[in-house]
A and B are shown apart, each in its own frame.
Chain A
Amino acid sequence: MLKLKNLAWLALLLPGIVQAQVSEFELENGLKLIVKEDHRAPVVVSQVWYKVGSSYEYNGITGISHVLEHMMFKGTENLEPNEFSQIIARNGGEQNAFTGRDYTAYFQKLHKDRLEVSFKHEADRMRNLVIEPAELLKERDVVAEERRMRTEDNPQSLLREHFNAAAFMSSPYHHPIIGWMSDIQHYEAEDLKAWYQMWYAPNNATVVVAGDVEPKAVLDLAKKYFGPLEPETVAELKPRVEVPQKGLREIKVKAPAELPYLMMGWKVPTVTTITEDNSWEPYALEVLAGVLDGGNSARFARELVREQQVATSVGAGNSLFSRLKDLFLVAGTPANGKSVDDLQAAVREQIERLKQTPVTAEELDRVKAQVVAETVYEKDSVFYQAMQIGMLETIGLDWMVGEQYVDNIKAVTAEQVQAVARKYFVDDSLTIAELVPLPLDGRRPVSNAGDAHVR
């Protein structure tokens, strides 16, 4: 079998690929426009990103960013409910939206000639949304159904929700993106109007366009449609810093299920929160995640799944790009005949080894090769390229941080991986959650999901 001794070949590959054409503009009203050219196919992706998401919310209105995202399809001063969707459909487009902890984004995928349709109506709903109380009542029901489907009836999602609420006390990452059921069932039109007024404005938005377009033409279109919009006074966010954790937290969640599940999370810095002196640390954690779980040859698959057979599946993930301090996560399902405790012990042994022994050169090379390859593969998706730019800008970083990702990963040493393992994988900042299966005996569980009679 061939083995690559070093990464010299990767250096030859990179120039020319990563230097895709990106243009950046700012309109007078503060709207940011970023255009990434990709001329492989006659298509365009248009995304509007707002700096608002569940981490901007507080108790009592959790999930309001998400329900507002739903209401953005329910009509403006110029359009009937659902009419925007129909217009995009008639133009051969696809559209959707998503809400995260740190952002809310709307997008259309269209033939390159139809970008104007997107801009016209995105600009309209940026300032002219109409929130009809009757429409909101229906949409509360829809979102409640969404929550039942995603969380209430999904034992692993339920565990994850409780896990986040235990790991974060004062940080808004405490509550779920979709919101608590009781909050979902009590939004009023006035709540939504106030939230919309506060955050939906050109000076709180980034428009990202990627595809077979010409930047100057996109800028002209943006000036035409977004240019006339009035900016808003956008309130400065309170820091809402997570209080320091003072010891190991362990929770159990009981739910009807067949399989147990384990989640472990350590508090870690992100690229956004790290001090300049330690700016390498989030990248070292990223490499560490790759050593544990970068595909089928990584330590988790090789040792926990194949060798020790203690897990059916187990994953690790670092949170590189979050607005606030976040978690390094490990989660998995014990193998048949093994317990959650067995799996936890095996994970802890892996963490201990990372602290004691530097990772091998071969492992480092493998992780770096995967990262380099992935940056090529990502270019196959116009949507993904736009997504990365929008996400970075919206959490307060420059899109260029994405372009520097490979270099930052390549600079990580085995000693740095060991150093972050020692610094951050300590029990005092660890939260552990265990899913305890209850029998699936066919009876409906006592629901703490809130009263079902909404109206």
Chain B
Amino acid sequence: MFARAFVFVFTLLSAGLSWAGPEIQHWTTDNNARVYYVPAPELPMVDISVVFDAGAARDGDMPGTAKMTAAMIDEGTETMTADDIASAFANVGAKFGASSERDMAVFSLRTLTEEQAFEQALDTYTKVLSAPAFPQDAFGRIQQTLLTGLQAENQSPQAIATRAFYESLYNQHPYSVMPAGNADSVQKLKPADLKAFYDRYYVSSNAVVVIVGAVERKQAEQIAKQLTSGLTTGQPAEKLPEVPALNQAQQINKSFPSTQTTIVMGQTGMSRDDPDYFPLYVGNHILGGSGLVSQLSDELREKRGLTYGVYSYFRPMQQKGPYQFALQTRNEKAQEALTVLQDTLKKFITNGPTEAELTAAKQNITGGFALRVDSNSKIADYLAMIGFYDLPLDYLDNFNDKVNAVTLADVKQAFERRVNADTMLTVLVGGETETK
């Protein structure tokens, strides 16, 4: 059903985390699945996720494989049709979700813990994950849906810019592949390709199980056991290759019949276990990661009225994710906006933040810790991240201390070493941009 329409002042760009957080319990099942559990007895519900290292980075030369495998997972098992599966969840008010990005394939279940509802939902979830049949008729339909999705991308300047950005930034690296694939490869895919992908990556050694809700530890153990019992043990996915850095600036202009030009600029950023994580994260919070109070928002929106929203963010992944800047502005202002964006970045790299800015950023990040873990669903998201990227269990507990430990010199040095304004990749998609 439709969400009600609102017009927001600016998009919420919550970045980062942090309170002496939830107490995470962790164990490994007999067949090597890693489990992360937080009891939350207040509401009679539970959130469960199973995360596989089976995102688009594993697509190889058939882009779209990971996404289509995930999309086909609830389209039929050996004993149930797609209709049966949908009814089994819906009849007890349970919600099932599947998504696939570059690193992760995530399958989530939200259900009531009332016994009858819970058992039916968990039973169906287990079957879907462990015995998908990839039936031919559903395959043809999902293939068409993915192709329609690719068409929809072609009418969105942001989607066009993002695709061009990733393809050029990552070049031959697996991260260059868009999870949605491309029309060529999606058309070529066969059910057997998905089955082979499933057999390789949807294995318990390659899985993280997250459980947050009104279940006891014993029950949680039982849930994890049941969920993974139908999976083969297999092997963890191979480590992804390292990402080579860009060594020269590049600009891509694409014409599009829009009133605005979309600007996406960036370079390779950092990985989840990056030693510079905290200085870069706190620094970017000041530069472009804190919504209306960031430097970029001040320069482009508050002072000049050039855009509705401008932001920058690091997207830490298994290997280096992008460090990305983005905004939209009316076509005739594209060059001015790009110049202000570049100048603000250069100035930040050269001068670093002020003491006052650093203090304000730390107050914002650490003071907002409780907000970031105030619901079961938010905690579940953090558990998935901690589990998937193998972060320490006390990651949340120590987060505020690590933020507070960052000094002005740390930020300045990290940006000088890691961010190079002269080798940025810039993509412009818009109405008056001529292809050079």
- A residues with a Cβ closer than 8 A to B are 1-4, 9-10, 12-13, 17, 40-43, 66, 69-70, 73, 81-82, 85-86, 89-94, 96-101, 109-112, 114, 137-146, 148-150, 152-155, 177-178, 256-259, 289-290, 293-298, 301-302, 305-306, 309, 312, 315-318, 329, 331, 333, 335-336, 362, 365-366, 369-374, 376-377, 379-382, 437, 440-445, 447, 449, 452
Among B4, B92, B154, B304, contact of A258 (Cβ-Cβ < 8 Å): B154
A144 to B374 alpha-carbon distance, docked (Å): 35
Does B51 lie at the interface of the complex (its beta carbon under 8 Å from any beta carbon of A)?
no
A13 to B114 alpha-carbon distance, docked (Å): 7
6 chain-A/chain-B pairs, Cβ below 8 angstroms = A13-B44, A43-B371, A85-B293, A93-B364, A259-B152, A333-B148
**16 new A-B contacts at CB < 8 Å, known A90-B360, A443-B257:** A1-B84, A1-B88, A10-B114, A41-B370, A82-B292, A93-B367, A96-B9, A111-B371, A152-B260, A306-B141, A315-B1, A316-B1, A331-B2, A366-B91, A382-B375, A444-B431
A9 to B19 alpha-carbon distance, docked (Å): 37
Report the minimum CB–CB distance from B213 to chain A (whole Å).
10
With a CB–CB cut-off of 8 A, which chain B residues contact A143? 308
Q: Taking A145-B330, A440-B257 as contacts, is the C-beta distance between A4 and B292 under 8 angstroms?
A: no
CB within 8 Å: A-B pair count: 277
Does B409 lie at the interface of the complex (its beta carbon under 8 Å from any beta carbon of A)?
no
> From residue 257 to 272 of chain B, which have CB atoms closer than 8 A to chain A?
257-260
With a CB–CB cut-off of 8 A, which chain A residues contact B432? 444
A116 to B14 alpha-carbon distance, docked (Å): 22
With a CB–CB cut-off of 8 A, which chain B residues contact A309? 141, 144
Q: Taking A99-B6, A258-B155, A296-B86 as contacts, is the C-beta distance between A109 and B371 under 8 angstroms?
A: yes
Instruction: Tell me if B151 and A148 are in contact (CB < 8 A).
Output: no
Q: Can you name the residue of chain B whose Cβ is closest to the Cβ of A2?
A: B120
Q: What 9 A-B pairs come out closest when comparing CB atoms? A: A92-B367, A373-B93, A141-B305, A297-B86, A442-B255, A317-B2, A444-B431, A138-B305, A41-B374
Does B42 lie at the interface of the complex (its beta carbon under 8 Å from any beta carbon of A)?
yes
When each residue 345-379 of chain B gets 1 if its CB lies under 8 Å from chain A and 0 otherwise, what string results?
00000000000000010011111111101111100
Instruction: Tell me if B360 and A86 are in contact (CB < 8 A).
Output: yes
Among A10, A94, A112, contact of B12 (Cβ-Cβ < 8 Å): A94
Instruction: Tell me if B374 and A3 are in contact (CB < 8 A).
Output: no
A380 to B213 alpha-carbon distance, docked (Å): 10
Report the minimum CB–CB distance from B335 to chain A (whole Å).
15
Among B2, B144, B331, contact of A312 (Cβ-Cβ < 8 Å): B144
When each residue 304-317 of chain B gets 1 if its CB lies under 8 Å from chain A and 0 otherwise, what string results?
11111000000000
Instruction: Tell me if A42 and B91 are in contact (CB < 8 A).
Output: no
> From residue 263 to 295 of chain B, which have CB atoms closer than 8 A to chain A?
290-293
Among A100, A137, A148, A372, contact of B259 (Cβ-Cβ < 8 Å): A148
Instruction: Tell me if A177 and B148 are in contact (CB < 8 A).
Output: no
With a CB–CB cut-off of 8 A, which chain A residues contact B260? 145, 148-149, 152-153
Among A82, A329, A381, A443, contact of B293 (Cβ-Cβ < 8 Å): A82
Q: Taking A73-B9, A98-B8, A380-B43 as contacts, is the C-beta distance between A138 and B155 under 8 angstroms?
A: no
A441 to B291 alpha-carbon distance, docked (Å): 35
Among A1, A9, A100, A296, contact of B6 (Cβ-Cβ < 8 Å): A100
With a CB–CB cut-off of 8 A, which chain A residues contact B90? 294-298, 366, 369-370
With a CB–CB cut-off of 8 A, which chain A residues contact B328? 145, 148-149
Q: Can you name the residue of chain B whose Cβ is closest to the Cβ of A337?
A: B144
Q: Taking A9-B114, A42-B370, A97-B9 as contacts, is the C-beta distance between A89 and B145 under 8 angstroms?
A: no
Instruction: Tell me if B89 and A297 are in contact (CB < 8 A).
Output: yes
Does B147 lie at the interface of the complex (its beta carbon under 8 Å from any beta carbon of A)?
yes
With a CB–CB cut-off of 8 A, which chain A residues contact B147? 336
With a CB–CB cut-off of 8 A, which chain A residues contact B151? 258-259
Q: Can you name the residue of chain A whose Cβ is closest to the Cβ of B369?
A: A92
With a CB–CB cut-off of 8 A, which chain A residues contact B111? 373
Report the minimum CB–CB distance from A265 to chain B (whole Å).
11
Does B116 lie at the interface of the complex (its beta carbon under 8 Å from any beta carbon of A)?
yes
Does B45 lie at the interface of the complex (its beta carbon under 8 Å from any beta carbon of A)?
yes
Does B302 lie at the interface of the complex (its beta carbon under 8 Å from any beta carbon of A)?
yes
Does B131 lie at the interface of the complex (its beta carbon under 8 Å from any beta carbon of A)?
no
Does B180 lie at the interface of the complex (its beta carbon under 8 Å from any beta carbon of A)?
no
With a CB–CB cut-off of 8 A, which chain B residues contact A137? 305
Instruction: Tell me if B2 and A315 are in contact (CB < 8 A).
Output: yes
Q: Taking A2-B119, A312-B144 as contacts, is the C-beta distance between A145 and B308 under 8 angstroms?
A: yes
Instruction: Tell me if A444 and B331 are in contact (CB < 8 A).
Output: yes
Does B87 lie at the interface of the complex (its beta carbon under 8 Å from any beta carbon of A)?
yes
